[in-house]
């Protein structure tokens, strides 16, 4: 299982993607609009291959890490 990225790494990844999309100086609203309307092919082409695209444990969207023990108890099959 992939572990969530630490905050400094996610910030670096976000800044890299914003730079490639020419959104470094854009407002939050402009960034959101661009990300919601960008052609998926363009997004893939402009995202550097060196940018780690993994989840960030933030307590909201990704509330906790998942491991095999948690999955095993959550999906236990009674026999």
Place of tokens 């572990």: 3
- Tell me the per-residue pLDDT of 41-50, one tens digit each, with 9 for 90 and over: 999 999 999 9
Q: What are phi and psi of 56, to 5 degrees?
A: -120, 125
pLDDT at 75: 67
The Cα 4–Cα 18 span in angstroms is: 21
Residue whose C-alpha is closest to residue 19's, from 42, 46, 45: 46
- Tell me the per-residue pLDDT of 8-61, one tens digit each, with 9 for 90 and over: 898 999 999 999 999 999 999 999 999 999 999 999 999 999 998 888 776 666
pLDDT at 64: 74
């Amino acid at each position: 299982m992939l572990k969530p990225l630490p905050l400094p790494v996610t910030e670096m990844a976000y800044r890299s993607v914003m730079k490639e999309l020419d959104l470094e100086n854009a407002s939050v609203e402009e960034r959101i609009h661009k990300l919601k309307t960008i052609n998926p092919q363009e997004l893939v082409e402009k995202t550097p291959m060196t940018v780690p695209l993994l989840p960030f444990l933030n307590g909201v969207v990704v509330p906790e890490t998942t491991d095999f023990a948690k999955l095993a108890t959550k999906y236990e099959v009674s026999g």
